[in-house]
Every structure is written in structure tokens, then in C-alpha cells.
């Protein structure tokens, strides 16, 4: 019960009440920089699949399966064999070459850093945390302490009852971890906990005098040409260790290749061979295929995976000398779901690759290249190549679901947008009406940033107060007034439009697709899908125009179930329901109300009223 502290429950109910602003207990300081999109340093060689013993047809079928399964929610995919890229595909609007959040995938980087610290004599596997953090143990906690070692942290067997949800309590995560109780005796039971990874990072900083990120930059990232990488710090200045890292797909694959090479890169031993061998073998039963040092063992014998929430994976198969990389935005936790099933179906235990080159197959290769071009659309950061092809008509149809536009429309009494169900306005016609108009929202509680992203980055919304529209060179621009920020969202109707917005000082690229429809009441509806290109999440905003009013409905993917899990409210017997006042509330019939409140928090609604440009200027004193 220790991890469900009062402040976490307080945060939960603030979210359910759709309160806005910095509702967390941690002071927010912007950290994330602008992604620049510089050329990748020390890139992998590119080669045809056949030259590396893999059929182009097999890879194409794999990509089609990823693309066609909505539950997989694929965003990026790469296949590397013998150190050569034989497939790279972004799935529009996601951009080839752009960095992407890793969630827990970066724990493997922490495992590598720990091995380097041990190699340099800064740490030992059997060293106790009490020896590293003696001043972080509260007085009363000293009498019930159990000895937790570096090894326990590496293999997720610390047993400490302080996880990510507990980290919402406040800023001093080290002290809270060192003073927490225990679920089980250290070293006895696998219990996945990102704070174990955080404590490894903190230990490296205490011993080396560097943040773990800087420690790795000097020893791994810079020597490997991994330059555009960012890793968030905790409130007390430690690299988060278990999450918060953004890295390019190709650079993430470099870490996988480093492991396949037993720690060697370009002829230099960056990580001791014996440490890589220790990391990549199973040390503890996790109910699946085993867990190594900050690595998951895979179904294919000898395989291992860097795995992160929502489908962020780098999977290594030593027997094939192969790496699979994916970024996604699905509901997967711990490699269970459609994405993982597809990957194992095509590359799992039954897959056999040729030891030598296959005969080149130009026809199959052209089909593969065409499929990649269709799915990728256009890439701002991917440079030249197949993925930079102009969006095909088939891809346009798939992305935007372009309706048949008609020029006829009718108005009802009052200002606003109305249309018969049999007609749909064109974007240009809609802009003719909406241009330079602004809606003032009644509640202003929903934001553009998905809820999962808000909680993960401690960057909570101020709520969208106004929604405006502008025509800029025949492009619809939706203006979202949120706190002190005004987000200029370019909307694409044939293909997603790329914009950059700033959320409390942190820049994020978005790709926005628009579609115009009508509902059962003949209201014109503008459907906006806003993909956060560096994240796994997508925000959806549906605007229902009714005379001079607009109803805004917000949703996000990954959606309900994942967010419920994230706030510990998804199981048959969630822990926070055991709290006395919550249990009494539920026993008296309040469970349905909690469910409805959760749905309202995940799918908020707001109503706006039109304010003319003249009224707006007058109100602002212009």
C-alpha cells in the first residue's frame, strides 16, 4: 500500500475532476530541447535484403501486416542484418530519422552504464545501497532495512515498495526509495519497477560525479556518433534511468548492434565482453522467457529485447545476427499484444534465414520500395531515399479518408456551420466561414497534450481557453490558446501537415490530419487527429459546429485501458480501492461513478461560443 500515498490519490482525483495546471507534486522545469534533424553520424550501411540472405517479399509482407493491423499502431520499423540496414520505414505522419521517446527501452542503456561503472571500479554487483546512499535513509526506516544490492536493481528483484506512481509524491526519489518498505525479500522475486533503474542511475552519479547521461555520452554515445539524444532528469538532477529518453531509431539500433558485437564498435571495445554476456542471459524467472540485466529474454533462443511501453522495441537475434526495431503507439505492456505477435510470427523461433546471399530479385525489391514509399508518405528528417517519395494517391486515401466534397451547403438561423447529411463541405468552404473567428471555451480544462504524456513528463495542461481559425496560404491553421501558449496547428486534408508547438517551454513536433463530416443532427464536424511525432500518443479533437457554438470532444490513443493501467485503476482489485474511504465509496455503489469519472477524464468535452474578430479585438483593447 505504500506506493499509493495520499498525494498520488490526490493527483488521481484531480485528473478525474479535469483540473488543470501543474497539479503534480513536482515542480515543473522545461528540459526537452528542439529536435534539429542533423545527419546521422556513423550510419549503418544500406543493402538489399537478398544480399543479406532475406527475401524482399518476406519483409514486404511483414510491413503490410504491421500497417494493416490497427491494434499494432506502428510508427517506425527497421530491420538490420549483418550490420546493414535492409529495411527502414516510417508510417506517415511519423518521420524517418526523427528521435522518439523510448519509455522503458532505455533501461538497457542504464544496464550498460552500470557495467561500465563496475568495470571502472566505481560500483560492485554485491554493493549495498545503504553504502551508496547512507544519508538518504530516514531515521525510522533504518530499523527495518533489508539489504538491496546493485545486482538486485539490475535484475528487478529489489522488492522495494516504491515505484513510478510513488515518484509522483515529491522530488526526492532517492530518499523515498531508500526509506520505503518491501513487498518481498531482495533477490527473491522478479518485480518490474522503473525506480530500480533510476537508483542505478543515481548510484552512478554519486560514484562518478557525472549524471549517467553524461557518463554514457563520454563512453558510448559520442564514440558511436549518437549525437541527437536527450534524457530527462529527475527533480533532484539525476538522469531518470528507467524512462525519459529520446533517441533516433537508427541510433537505438546501434546499441543493439553493440550488444550483438559483444561490446565492440568499429574495432574498439566500448563495453567489456563479459558484461555484455552477463546482461544478455537470463538471471531471473519473470514468468515469460526470463530477464537479464535490464533486458528481456526473447522467444527465439538466445534472443533478447530492449522493451518499452506502447511498443518501443529493439530486438536482437544473435543466431541470425539481426536487429528488429519498432516504435508504436499501442496498448502493449511487456511485449504482449498484436505488434509482438506479428514480429514473432515473421521473425520468431520458426524463422530460418539464409547463411549466404540470395539471388537478387528486382521485381520483389521494387514492390518493397513501393510499399515503403506509400507508407512513409513524406519525411522531413529522413533525407533522400525511398522514404522521401511523394505521397502516393493510395496513401493519401488511406491517411485522410478523403470524402467527396460538394459545394452546396445551407445555413440555418444564426451564424455557424450547417450541412445536409448528404453533403460535406470542402476545407476551403469551411475556411470561408471560420477564417478569423474564435470560440471561447466554457471550461477550458482539456489540453492538446495527451494525458499519458502529461503524467510521464510532469507537464500538465493549462486547458484550452479558446479555439481560433486562420487561413494561411490556403492552409487551415487551428489556433489553440492554452495558458500563455498559442499553438498554431497546421491541418492537412490530403496528407498530414507538420507543425511544431511549445508546451510550457518544451517543443514538440506534431503531424495533423483533418477530415470534414456531418453527424446525425446535420452538424458539420471537423475531425482533427494530432500525432505527436516524438511520442507514442495521438490526440484527437472532434469539433461539432452548432450555429454559433462548437462542441469539442477530446480523446487520445493509446486510450482508456492503458491510461487506466497508468493510474492503477484497471485490474479486478486495484490497490487504491483498498483504501478505507475509497472502499466504502465503492461498496456504496460508487464504482460506476468512478468509471464514469475516468471516462470523462480520458474523453473530456467542452463547449465554445463564437467571438467575432471585432469583439475579440475590442476585448483585448486593440
Distance CA 374, CA 396 (A): 9
Burial state string for 60-89 with b = 16 or more CB within 10 A and e = fewer than 16:
bebbebbbebeebbbbbbbbbbbbebbbbb
State mean pLDDT over 90-109: 96
Q: Is 513 a residue whose pLDDT tops 60?
A: yes
Does 332 reside within a domain?
yes
Q: How many helices (H) and strands (E) does the chain have?
A: 19, 22
Q: Is 408 a residue whose pLDDT tops 60?
A: no
Do 415 and 363 sit in the same domain of this protein?
no
The proportion of the chain whose per-residue pLDDT surpasses 70, expressed as a percent, equals 78
Three cell numbers written together for 51? 544480399
Q: What are the pLDDT digits (tens) for 311-344?
A: 999 999 999 999 999 999 998 888 889 999 999 9
Do 592 and 453 sit in the same domain of this protein?
yes
Do 163 and 259 sit in the same domain of this protein?
no
Domain total of the chain: 3
Q: What are the pLDDT digits (tens) for 35-51?
A: 999 999 999 999 999 99
Q: Is 541 a residue whose pLDDT tops 50?
A: yes
Do 424 and 538 sit in the same domain of this protein?
yes
Domain range for 154 is 100-247
Does 23 reside within a domain?
no
108 or 20, which is more confident = 108
Q: What are the pLDDT digits (tens) for 151-190?
A: 999 999 999 988 877 666 678 999 999 988 899 999 999 9
pLDDT confidence band for 446 (50 / 70 / 90):
confident
Do 425 and 442 sit in the same domain of this protein?
yes
Does 46 reside within a domain?
yes
Using left for φ > 0, alpha for ψ between -120 and 50, and beta otherwise, residue 510 falls in beta
CB 315 within 8 A of CB 257: no
CB 31 within 8 A of CB 233: yes
Do 260 and 396 sit in the same domain of this protein?
yes
Does 19 reside within a domain?
no
Do 129 and 222 sit in the same domain of this protein?
yes
Q: Is 411 a residue whose pLDDT tops 90?
A: no
Amino acid at each position: 500500500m505504500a506506493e499509493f500515498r495520499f498525494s498520488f490519490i490526490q493527483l488521481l482525483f484531480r485528473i478525474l475532476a479535469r483540473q488543470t495546471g501543474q497539479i503534480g507534486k513536482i515542480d515543473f522545469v522545461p528540459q526537452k530541447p528542439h529536435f534539429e534533424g542533423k545527419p546521422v553520424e556513423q550510419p549503418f550501411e544500406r543493402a538489399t535484403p537478398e544480399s543479406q540472405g532475406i527475401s524482399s517479399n518476406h519483409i514486404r509482407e511483414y510491413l503490410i501486416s504491421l500497417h494493416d493491423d490497427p491494434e499494432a499502431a506502428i510508427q517506425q520499423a527497421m530491420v538490420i542484418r549483418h550490420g546493414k540496414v535492409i529495411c527502414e520505414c516510417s508510417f506517415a505522419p511519423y518521420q524517418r530519422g526523427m528521435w522518439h521517446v523510448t519509455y522503458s527501452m532505455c533501461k538497457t542503456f542504464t544496464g550498460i552504464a552500470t557495467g561500465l561503472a563496475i568495470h571502472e571500479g566505481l560500483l560492485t554487483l554485491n554493493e549495498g545501497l545503504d553504502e551508496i546512499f547512507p544519508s538518504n535513509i530516514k531515521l525510522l526506516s533504518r530499523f527495518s532495512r533489508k539489504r538491496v544490492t546493485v545486482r538486485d536493481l539490475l535484475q528487478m528483484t529489489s522488492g522495494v515498495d516504491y515505484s513510478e506512481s510513488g515518484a509522483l509524491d515529491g522530488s526526492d526519489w532517492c530518499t523515498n526509495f531508500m526509506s520505503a518498505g518491501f513487498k518481498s525479500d531482495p533477490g527473491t522475486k522478479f518485480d518490474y519497477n522503473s525506480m530500480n533503474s533510476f537508483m542505478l542511475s543515481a548510484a552512478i552519479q554519486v560514484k562518478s560525479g557525472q549524471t549517467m547521461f553524461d557518463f554514457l555520452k563520454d563512453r558510448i554515445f559520442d564514440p558511436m556518433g549518437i549525437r541527437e539524444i536527450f534524457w530527462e532528469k529527475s527533480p533532484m538532477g539525476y538522469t531518470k534511468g528507467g524512462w525519459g529518453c529520446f533517441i533516433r531509431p537508427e541510433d537505438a539500433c546501434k546499441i543493439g548492434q553493440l550488444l550483438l558485437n559483444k561490446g565492440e564498435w568499429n574495432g574498439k571495445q566500448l563495453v567489456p565482453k563479459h558484461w555484455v554476456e552477463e546482461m544478455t542471459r537470463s538471471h531471473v524467472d519473470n514468468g515469460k522467457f526470463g530477464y537479464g540485466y535490464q533486458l528481456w529474454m526473447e522467444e527465439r533462443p538466445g534472443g533478447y529485447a530492449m522493451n518499452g511501453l506502447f511498443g518501443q522495441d529493439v530486438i536482437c537475434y544473435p543466431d541470425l545476427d539481426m536487429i528488429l526495431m519498432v516504435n508504436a503507439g499501442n496498448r502493449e505492456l511487456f511485449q504482449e499484444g498484436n505488434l509482438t505477435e506479428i514480429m514473432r510470427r515473421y521473425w520468431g523461433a520458426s524463422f530460418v534465414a539464409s547463411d549466404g546471399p540470395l539471388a537478387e530479385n528486382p521485381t520483389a525489391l521494387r514492390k518493397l520500395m513501393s510499399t515503403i514509399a506509400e507508407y512513409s508518405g513524406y519525411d522531413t528528417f529522413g533525407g533522400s531515399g525511398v522514404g522521401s517519395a511523394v505521397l502516393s494517391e493510395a496513401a493519401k486515401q488511406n491517411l485522410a479518408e478523403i470524402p467527396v466534397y460538394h459545394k452546396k451547403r445551407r445555413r440555418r438561423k444564426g451564424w455557424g456551420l450547417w450541412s445536409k447529411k448528404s453533403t460535406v463541405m470542402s476545407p476551403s468552404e469551411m475556411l470561408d466561414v471560420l477564417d478569423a473567428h474564435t470560440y471561447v471555451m466554457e471550461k477550458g480544462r482539456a489540453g492538446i497534450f495527451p494525458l499519458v504524456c502529461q503524467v510521464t513528463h510532469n507537464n500538465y495542461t493549462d486547458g484550452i481557453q479558446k479555439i481560433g481559425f486562420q487561413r494561411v496560404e490556403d492552409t487551415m491553421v487551428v489556433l489553440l490558446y492554452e495558458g500563455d501558449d498559442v499553438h498554431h496547428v497546421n491541418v492537412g486534408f490530403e496528407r498530414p501537415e507538420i507543425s511544431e508547438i511549445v508546451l510550457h517551454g518544451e517543443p514538440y513536433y506534431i503531424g495533423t490530419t483533418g477530415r470534414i463530416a456531418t453527424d446525425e443532427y446535420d452538424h458539420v464536424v471537423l475531425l482533427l487527429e494530432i500525432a505527436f511525432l516524438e511520442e507514442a500518443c495521438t490526440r484527437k479533437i472532434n469539433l461539432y459546429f452548432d450555429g454559433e457554438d462548437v462542441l469539442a470532444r477530446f480523446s487520445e490513443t493509446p486510450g482508456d485501458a492503458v491510461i487506466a493501467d497508468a493510474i492503477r485503476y484497471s485490474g479486478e482489485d486495484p490497490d487504491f480501492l483498498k483504501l478505507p474511504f475509497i472502499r466504502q465509496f465503492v461498496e456504496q455503489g460508487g464504482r460506476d461513478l468512478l468509471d464514469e469519472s475516468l471516462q470523462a477524464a480520458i474523453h473530456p468535452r467542452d463547449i465554445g461560443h463564437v467571438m467575432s474578430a471585432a469583439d475579440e479585438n475590442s476585448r483585448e483593447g486593440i
